[in-house]
Amino acid sequence: MVKAIFPGSFDPLTNGHLETIKTAAKMFDELFVVIMTNTQKKYLFDEKERVELAKKVLNPITNVEVIGRPLELTVDVARKLHASIIVRGLRNDADFNYEREIAQINKTLAPELNTVFLLTSPENSFISSSMIKETAMFGGDVTKLVPSEVAIGLKKKVNQHE
């Protein structure tokens, strides 16, 4: 049984993330979507909210489990879950350069783990969580860019901040 993790902050989960998750779920027996913390980011949703939103969206995919691990290294999470693969999504060449560096650090820390890069389709290649948040904060329609559950959650969250 091949287990993989797809770590990220998912603030919020986008259609690009969903595409990567669906592809990885077909490739691996079990996929853990791991809600983590990136200390370089400012979050709109807290960890619990991000986990709940992801669970709502991903519930129909039977071999995907969503878990929160905000204060752990990716390689430590993979080891604890007995995963041998780290999945990362790529939108463009800037993503590749950034993700390659992370994969190399992870390989140094945990040589037994491999990183698999999955390319997003052209229609999702421009979507980023930061652009989604910015668009939503100024009243823009993000319904074509995120799953419906996320669009609803964004609308509620933005209305709370007004």
Given the residues 9, 17, 50, 69, the one annotated as active site: 17
Given the residues 26, 41, 48, 80, the one annotated as active site: 41
C-alpha angle 16-37-18 in degrees, rounded to nearest 5: 15
What's the total number of domains in the chain?
A: 1
Regarding pTM above 0.85, the answer is: yes
DSSP 97-129: HHHHHHHHHHHHH-TT-EEEEEEPPGGGTT--H
User: How high is the pLDDT of residue 158?
Assistant: 87
User: How high is the pLDDT of residue 161?
Assistant: 63
Domain enclosing residue 63, as ranges: 3-161
Identify whether 79 is a catalytic site residue.
no
User: How high is the pLDDT of residue 162?
Assistant: 58
Q: What is the mean pLDDT of each run of 10 residues along the chain (162 residues)?
A: 97 97 98 92 92 97 96 96 98 92 97 98 93 93 96 89 60
Identify whether 69 is a catalytic site residue.
no
* CATH number (domain holding residue 62): 3.40.50.620
Given the residues 9, 88, 129, 133, the one annotated as active site: 129
Identify whether 161 is a catalytic site residue.
no
